[in-house]
Amino acid sequence: MWNSNLTRILKKRSVATVGAALVAVGTLSAGEAQATTITGGGYYATDEIPNQFTNISRSGSTALPGGSDDDASGLINIGFNFDFFGTTYSQFSVSSNGLITFGGGNSSPNNVNLGTTAPTPNLPTIAPLWDDWYAGSPVLYRTEGTAGSRRLIISWGGIEGNNGNTDPKSFQTVLYEGSGDILFSYQDVNTLSYPTQDSGARGAESTIGIRNDNGANLLWSYNSPSVSDNTSIRFSKVPFEFSPGMSLLALGALFGANRLKSKLQKRKSLKSEFSSN
């Protein structure tokens, strides 16, 4: 419902403060106030979605050959125009180290905190799992769909860490035409030996997030185990910027109006079903 979606696009600190106040006045339930979704840089990200992983092992084109180590590719055509932080791109670069960049390549194995630090070189960056990886299998990509709703899939399969994290990892990123959404999906990032023999499992030594070259960013995690097998994270543009100065009364009115709208729609639906019977 809309009120839940609005709650989910508040920053964590906003949920902790404004959300708690809304619970106190009865506008939100305690469960709604504990939203895990975060916002930043005009985007919001959520893992409260079904896992979505597309196997392109037999249909994808090779962006990087198997055995590539810290070797960013040249520019590759996306297949459509993709809007990232308000700038349109038609090409991308990919690194064996779990990194996508626009306007040039970044082969650095040294991941940084995108929330506080610009990567070197400072390029618009998408980091589904940035770490010092070794591509045991080819890094593949495929553009599919019809004009207006196409998507680019970039898949890392069977990559291993150059720092002792030898358990192979598989994950992918999807860029969506039109909406500008970005999907991170993790097929295999766990390990039975974590953390004693594979300290990089579940993103524990990786950067996950997005950042523009002007510093706008949304960091999901930095060197923290924050992802698991068969899970996905979706980054989307925030429909409006939440203002901390927005009064609780105004927020309450918004939530109340939409709850009323939902109830009326439900009544209308029930009435229609009753009439048809």
pLDDT, tens only, 43-78: 999 999 999 999 999 999 999 998 888 778 889 999
Confidence (pLDDT) at 95:
94
Mean pLDDT over all residues of the chain? 78
Quick one: average pLDDT of 29-42?
Answer: 63
Given a cut of 70, whether residue 128 has pLDDT beyond it is yes
Given a cut of 80, whether residue 31 has pLDDT beyond it is no
Instruction: List Cβ<8 Å contacts ≥24 apart for 87-91.
Output: 87/124, 87/212, 89/124
| Residue 239, number of CB atoms within 10 A of its CB | 9
Quick one: average pLDDT of 123-139?
Answer: 92
Measured between alpha carbons, how far is 181 from 82 in angstroms, rounded to an integer? 9
* pTM of the model as a whole: 0.74
**What is the Cα Rg of the chain in Å?**
21
Given a cut of 50, whether residue 250 has pLDDT beyond it is no
Confidence (pLDDT) at 241:
52
Given a cut of 50, whether residue 121 has pLDDT beyond it is yes
